[in-house]
Amino acid sequence: MRTHTRRARLLKGTAALALAVAVATPALAAGKVTKDVAPVTAQALSEHIRILASDEFQGRKPGTAGEDKAIAYIQDQFKKIGLKPAVDGSYLQDVPLTEIVSKADGPMVITGPKAAPLSLEYFSDMIVWTRQRTPHVEVKDNDMVFVGYGITAPEFGWDDYAGVDVRGKTVVILVNDPGYATGDPALFGGGAMTWYGRWVYKFEEAARHGATAAIIVHETRAAGYPWGVVANGGSIPKLSLMPADGGLKTRSAVEGWMQLDQAKAVFQAAGLDFNTLKDSAARRGFKAVPLPLKMSVGITPTERDVISHNVIGTIPGTKHPDEMVLVGAHWDHLGIGPAINGDTIYHGAMDNASGVAGLIELAKRYTKGPKPDRTLLFIAYTAEEQGLLGSEYYAQHPLFAPNKTVAGFNMDMLSSVGLTRDIVLVGGRKSDLEDRLKAWTDAHMMALNQEPFPERGYYYRSDHFNLAKIGIPVIYAHSGIDSVANGAEWGKTKEDEFTRLHYHQPSDKWSPDLDLSGGAMEVNMIYDLSRPLAFGTDWPKWYDKAEFKAARDKSMGK
């Protein structure tokens, strides 16, 4: 009998039976398991999401009244279920941030000898901002250089900045990386985005080379999201972990994006063909190309200092309290922004009130059972939407040293389209946590698939990444697209639809029609995977070729 058919038959009947089958504790969790407690339910998740994504919470942006309401709710839930405050008698870890409100004073103007001046309008054609602490930014007649993908990666034998001096200039950069562009498995991650393809890296690398301005060319498929996501996110005030120099030496004065059509027009004004240069940028030996153009734009920012908060609770370990298993989810979203269909509140129901709901209910399930041998830490991060800032701060100021942190689990955007026959692993081939996940999916007669859109770089876009960078084995897995009720094509359509119509838009809101049975299954999956670690002495390991293994080896004294 085919496993999918068998599973489909098992899932018939009442919703309660379906959920029970989906979350039954697998054999791999044997050992310290006693009489188990009731699993997390879709109904419980829905109630938390309804509250956290309501208008009252104003989109949960850090440093606003929406944060006050969100962290008060999470603290209250942690206290009710019996989690211990983790930070000197408090649930709150202060995260100092600087908010910079910056918008172009006018259009971006590009001039050159071969064409009439180009005027790129803010929001529709381009988005720019500054992350420097300064009263005014004025870039006037700045030389422009096309630096391909803007990557310096010695381990791949790749340097887009070789032989060119971009200090004091504007660099134009392609999104993603050469592996995605060519599909060549010998280049970077092949079709899967690497860290070098992320916009965060590209801005950081441009600053390291002294660029005054860094502008990324937006392409929907290569970026993994439409222009609306870039424009909405770019126009909302930015929060940063401000360095001691106020960003004056560590950030470019101007960061931003331009629309693909505008980029083509810019290259045409330079007497060059965009597609030809794009193709050459994906080949080894590419050399940066100076553009016979000048760029001008002004930004007048305002700023304020903000103390935001990670919310952290623990269940102390009974035998090894100094060793910790971590589960995290970010509580923040975008707050109040440009109106879309008359709505200005970016509710963030699935992104990521759903993950916080899962965090609360997972902690509740643990508190109803026996006390773990190792400490369990439950953390709701701030400022994920601003660049993974809450988890970055925690990684810089951990409550448990990395060599005492056994493993981590991440919940970001639980499924809202029902039960699936598959689980998707984000960022595969990293650690033996994946082997444990494979044992779980086998026990549940489910397929374990690699992410269907590896080019979107989801592994580098959520909070687990900052833990991985300091060597902690972490895993991020979620429901797939092969819907039990409607099939794989329907599931893929729904995922594409959410990205196109609702991701980072006000329409990501709670509805009683959300089918959170798949989301509940995800939370119970993390319970099953984390339990043997919380009640054992095992230490997960990075695979030998994982980019984070060296950091783990160093922290463990190897």
Contact assessment for residue 303 and residue 101, using Cβ atoms and an 8 Å cutoff:
yes
Q: Give tens-digit pLDDT for 291-350.
A: 999 999 999 999 999 999 999 999 999 999 999 999 999 999 999 998 999 999 999 999
Q: How far is CA 497 from the centre of its chain?
A: 19
**CATH for 42-97+305-556 (3.40.50.300, 3.30.2180.10, 3.40.50.620, 3.40.630.10):** 3.40.630.10
Residue 368: CB atoms within 10 Å: 12
Q: For residue 10, what is the DSSP state?
A: H
Q: Which residues pair with 147 in a beta bridge?
A: none
Cis amide leading into 352 (omega within 30):
yes
Q: For residue range 15-26, list pLDDT tens digits in order.
A: 333 333 333 333
Per-residue pLDDT at 43 exceeds 50: yes
pLDDT tens digit string along 55-83? 999 999 999 999 999 999 999 999 999 99
Rounded to whole angstroms, how far apart are CA atoms 514 and 1?
32
| CATH, domain range 100-303 | 3.50.30.30
**Quick one: which of 235, 38, 199 has its CA closest to 122?**
235
How far apart, in whole angstroms, are the C-alpha atoms of residue 376 and residue 304?
35
Q: Could you give the CA distance from residue 553 to residue 539 in angstroms, rounded to a whole number?
A: 13
* pLDDT tens per residue, range 204-260: 999 999 999 999 999 999 998 899 989 988 887 888 999 889 999 999 999 999 999
Strands 170-174 and 213-217: what pairing? Answer: parallel
For the chain, the structural domain boundaries read 42-97+305-556, 100-303
